[in-house]
Structure formats: structure tokens, C-alpha cells
């Protein structure tokens, strides 16, 4: 049962045995199908921090049809760029944050307060748990509304559109995103994502920072669950019949490898970031995980929600 597995992996004392966690860096014992990337020319114009698609390693898990895994397709600079985006840009207006309700940000942003030495910074830093972009997910009603939306950040739509096209989902439109910010002791309870009008469209989940144990069950709470390691840069796509499965994050683990520190080998790379921003963001990500969760909300051809 999903709930039992969640409890098992969440436990600190005793700590769980991780032998059964699916590790797609060593897929020898996992039933997978290798997927070939659809190569398009668009890649050359702006790569959004992605390696050339010819180099991506892509699997579909045969026991979970429609669940697609791309092993970190990002360059080290790409990871830095997206980590900074999430921490500096996606954590302020016009996006919605969990800490808006606390009324603690006057005319300052979370980023401005948190990366200076102060007591306030220490308190505020771990309080950020999510932000919503595009159509804002309403956590209470679980509904999206035309009255509650911002524009989707162009670069995030662009990134998702490349991921989608490379997997053959050419009609995908990024219309809503949740950015989840995890500290080392954070979890995300089991749930299904069913608020979107269009649950036939795939859902894209991109992880940075420390490693997650991602738990995915079946359509019902009672179904058994599989645990999968998600490391920095990994992309999971919930498509087809996997789109409405129960899933959650029972545990964050410290990573031994830190791909964002590798030196970029590709000097054709065009993605840039501010080095001082990275110096700050790096101090955060050594004990945190960030997940960008991107959805299409509307049906094909639908223009507004009603």
C-alpha cells in the first residue's frame, strides 16, 4: 500500500533499507525500454541549459507504462541557471508563494532577505515551500481559475516545450507550474494531480539539488508503490496511464555527487547567469531540493477556463 511504503521510506529511526529503490543510473535490474530522442533543429537556437538531445539517456519503466525518465539532460551551467531562476525569480511577484499568507514580505523579496547575514534570513529561508506560476494551483479548492493566473515565464515554457518535442509530445503547452522547495527534512504527501482539465497531456517534473526518493503507486491508494531515486537534473514525465497515479516524496537524501559543480566542457554554451547569484544559490542548494512541476491545464483548442 502506498501509505505503508511512504512511512517506511520516511522513517528516520530505523532508517530504511534503500536496496529496492530503483536507480536508473544502474538500470540493469529494472525493466525499462530505451527511448530515442526526436531530434529537432530548434535546439540550436536556445538550448535552455540542456545538453544536445543525442546525448540524453531516456527510459520508460515497463511496470509503470507512460512513466518516462530522462537522466539529467542539463549541463552544469544549465543546472546553475535553473536553480537561480527558482530561487531568485520564481520566488516573487507575480508568482504566488506559500509565505504570501504569512505577510512577512513587505516590499522585499524572499531572495533579497534570505541571502544576507541576519536573524531574519535564517528564519525566513526554510519557510519557502512552494510557488505557483501560470494558472495558480489553488491548494484548497484544487481548482484553477481565470481570475488567478500570471504569465508563464518564457524560459520555462521554452524548456518544457523542448523536452516535450524531444519525446514526441509536440502539442504540449506549459500553462501552470508548481515549484516545490524542499529542505532536508521536508516530505510531500501522496497525492494525484487531477486538477487539470486536460489529464491526457503529460506532466513534467524536473529536480535539482539533493536527491529525492520519489514514490509512485497506482491509481488507487491501496495499490503497491515503487520508489525511484531522483537526482539533480533528472526529469520525470507522467504521461499516458501513469498520469493519474499516486505519488509523493517521503525522503530527501544528501547527494554525494554534485553535478552543478562540474566544469562545463561545452564552450558553445549560451546560457548565462550572474556569478554572485550563483554564490548565494549554491549555499541554499547544498541542503535543499527544488522540483519544477509543469502542467498543461486546458484541452487542445480551449482558450479559457470556465
Q: Which residues bind ligand OGA (CB under 6 A)?
A: 178, 180, 188, 193, 205, 207, 212, 214, 230, 247, 249, 291, 293
Instruction: CB nearer to ligand OGA: give 115 or 208.
Output: 208
SS3 130: strand
Q: How far is the CB of 285 from ligand OGA (least distance, A)?
A: 15
Q: Output phi, psi for 228, to 5 deg.
A: -135, 135
Closest residue by beta carbon to ligand OGA: 291
Q: How far is the CB of 289 from ligand OGA (least distance, A)?
A: 7
DSSP code of 184?
T
Instruction: CB nearer to Mn ion: give 27 or 218.
Output: 218
Instruction: CB nearer to ligand OGA: give 78 or 250.
Output: 250
Q: How far is the CB of 247 from ligand OGA (least distance, A)?
A: 5
Q: How far is the CB of 274 from Mn ion (least distance, A)?
A: 31
What residue 292 binds from Mn ion, ligand OGA, none (CB within 5 to 8 A, per partner kind)? none
Q: How far is the CB of 238 from Mn ion (least distance, A)?
A: 8
CA 123 to CA 65: how far, in whole Å? 43
Stretch in the footprint of Mn ion (CB under 5 A) among 63-71, 141-149, 189-197, 281-289: 189-197
CA 231 to CA 254: how far, in whole Å? 10
Instruction: CB nearer to Mn ion: give 124 or 228.
Output: 228
H or E element at residue 212: strand 211-216
Q: Does 277 bind Mn ion (CB under 5 A)?
A: no
Per-residue DSSP letters for 58-116?
EEEETTSTTEEEEE--B-HHHHHHHHHIIIIITTSTTSEEGGGGGT--SSS-HHHHHTS
CA 109 to CA 125: how far, in whole Å? 11
Instruction: CB nearer to ligand OGA: give 203 or 271.
Output: 203
Stretch in the footprint of Mn ion (CB under 5 A) among 13-21, 74-82, 83-91, 188-196: 188-196
Instruction: CB nearer to ligand OGA: give 80 or 247.
Output: 247
CA 303 to CA 159: how far, in whole Å? 22
Q: How many CA atoms lie within 13 A of 225 on its CB side?
A: 28
Closest residue by beta carbon to Mn ion: 193
Q: Does 193 bind Mn ion (CB under 5 A)?
A: yes
Q: Does 196 bind Mn ion (CB under 5 A)?
A: no
Stretch in the footprint of Mn ion (CB under 5 A) among 132-140, 187-195, 227-235, 250-258: 187-195
The b-or-e profile of 186-221 (16+ CB within 10 A means b, else e) is bbbebebbebbebbebbbbbbbbbbbbbbbbbbeee
Instruction: CB nearer to ligand OGA: give 46 or 71.
Output: 71
Q: How far is the CB of 256 from ligand OGA (least distance, A)?
A: 20
Sheet containing 235-238, strands listed edge to edge, beginning at the edge strand earlier in sequence? 32-34, 57-61, 67-71, 235-238, 203-209, 288-295, 176-183, 130-134, 96-97
Q: How far is the CB of 99 from ligand OGA (least distance, A)?
A: 17
How many angstroms from the chain centroid is the CA of residue 164?
15
Task: Report the interface residues with Mn ion, using CB under 5 A.
Answer: 193
Amino acid at each position: 500500500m502506498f501509505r505503508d511504503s511512504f512511512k517506511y521510506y520516511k522513517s528516520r529511526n530505523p532508517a530504511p533499507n534503500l536496496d529496492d529503490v530503483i536507480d536508473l543510473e544502474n538500470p540493469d535490474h529494472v525493466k525499462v525500454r530505451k527511448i530515442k530522442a526526436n531530434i529537432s533543429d530548434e535546439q540550436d537556437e536556445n538550448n535552455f541549459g540542456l545538453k544536445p538531445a543525442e546525448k540524453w539517456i531516456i527510459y520508460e519503466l515497463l511496470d509503470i507504462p507512460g512513466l518516462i525518465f530522462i537522466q539529467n539532460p542539463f549541463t552544469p551551467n544549465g543546472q546553475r541557471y535553473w536553480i537561480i531562476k527558482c530561487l531568485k525569480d520564481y520566488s516573487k511577484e507575480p508568482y504566488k508563494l506559500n509565505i504570501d499568507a504569512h505577510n512577512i514580505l513587505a516590499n522585499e523579496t524572499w531572495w533579497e532577505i534570505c541571502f544576507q547575514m541576519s536573524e531574519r534570513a535564517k528564519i525566513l529561508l526554510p519557510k519557502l515551500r512552494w510557488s505557483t506560476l501560470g494558472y495558480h494551483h489553488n491548494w484548497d479548492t484544487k481548482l484553477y481559475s481565470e481570475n488567478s493566473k500570471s504569465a508563464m515565464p518564457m524560459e520555462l515554457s521554452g524548456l518544457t516545450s523542448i523536452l516535450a518535442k524531444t519525446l514526441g509530445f509536440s502539442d504540449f503547452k506549459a500553462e501552470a507550474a508548481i515549484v516545490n522547495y524542499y529542505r532536508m527534512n521536508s516530505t510531500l504527501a501522496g497525492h494525484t494531480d487531477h486538477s487539470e482539465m486536460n489529464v491526457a497531456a503529460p506532466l513534467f517534473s524536473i529536480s535539482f539539488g539533493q536527491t529525492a526518493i520519489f514514490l509512485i503507486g497506482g491509481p488507487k491508494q491501496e495499490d503497491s508503490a515503487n520508489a525511484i531515486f531522483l537526482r539533480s537534473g533528472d526529469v520525470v514525465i507522467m504521461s499516458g496511464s501513469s498520469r493519474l497515479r499516486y505519488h509523493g516524496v517521503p525522503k530527501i537524501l544528501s547527494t554525494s555527487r554534485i553535478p552543478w559543480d562540474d566544469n562545463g566542457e561545452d564552450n558553445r554554451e549560451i546560457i548565462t547567469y550572474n556569478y554572485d547569484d550563483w554564490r548565494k544559490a549554491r549555499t541554499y542548494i547544498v541542503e535543499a531540493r527544488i522540483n519544477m512541476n509543469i502542467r498543461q491545464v486546458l484541452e487542445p483548442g480551449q482558450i479559457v477556463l470556465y
